[in-house]
Structure 1
């Protein structure tokens, strides 16, 4: 079963995020209160525990949820294999995959902290289709897979 391990938020960009009990995700915005939220195609970032485990396996210590500045840390689905346009139901929220990976910006605190960043290769980005709350333990259901 695919599920949410953590909901993570930060007030500034380019820094690790802190876990919260639950988050509200708005249409045309993303996670309320997060620095990356806004009316664009990268409203919410997701990274799988499977990707974080790859970094741990090569000797990076001290990794935890939110360390790669992801809004949702997940488990049980290889996010980076989902095609763009895939819709997922996560908790009360329906979201659509808009981008796989990204360019890591200069001066990235995550890369400086851990020596590498898996987010540019295996993180995904989504936009919110149906708003609502997401909390750790919520199931992730793939609705459509284009």
Structure 2
């Protein structure tokens, strides 16, 4: 898996903008993004492979930024199980939860977009280790650890 798109938005309902790299701060979020400083939802991640499936259902293509997710990888399934670790370059993320598509997608992308994105919306993650995420970075997934006991 590789990073093929990075998007940030300064505020809610403000347009997302594509960037070539972004600084990820542990415990804080992506510098310059609306969720920087939130408690758990530091970064969102989605798969282009799954976006392509939604596009096929809709009958038209759309830009990965239309979903307002931060990181888009080229292929593969994005884990949704809390505790799963995702490494992007030097940055380490931990899955917090599945991201459900917002009904506003119908306004922004067209009627039926939210339904087409159901189960394909990616995951919200918190940042555990700081670094810079860049286009082309390798992405690896590590299974969630099960607490001893």
Gaps of 5+ in 1: none
Contact 1:68/1:119 (8 A) holds in 2:
no
TM-score normalised by the chain length of structure 1 = 0.85
Gaps of 5+ in 2: none
The CA RMSD measured in Å over matched residues stands at 2.1
Give the equivalent residue in structure 2 for 1:95: 93
Count residues with an aligned counterpart.
141
Contact 1:26/1:132 (8 A) holds in 2:
yes
Superposition misfits of 4+ residues, deviation over 4 angstroms: none
TM-score normalised by the chain length of structure 2 = 0.83
The verdict on how the C-alpha distance between 1:50 and 1:58 changes in structure 2, with shifts beyond 3 A counting, is same
- 116-125 or 23-32: which moved more? 116-125
Q: Quick check: which has more Rg, 1 or 2?
A: 2
The verdict on how the C-alpha distance between 1:120 and 1:35 changes in structure 2, with shifts beyond 3 A counting, is farther
Contact 1:100/1:121 (8 A) holds in 2:
no
**Distance in 1 of aligned mates of 2:133 and 2:51:** 21
Deviation at 1:15, TM superposition (A): 5.1
Give the equivalent residue in structure 1 for 2:68: 69
Give the equivalent residue in structure 2 for 1:38: 37
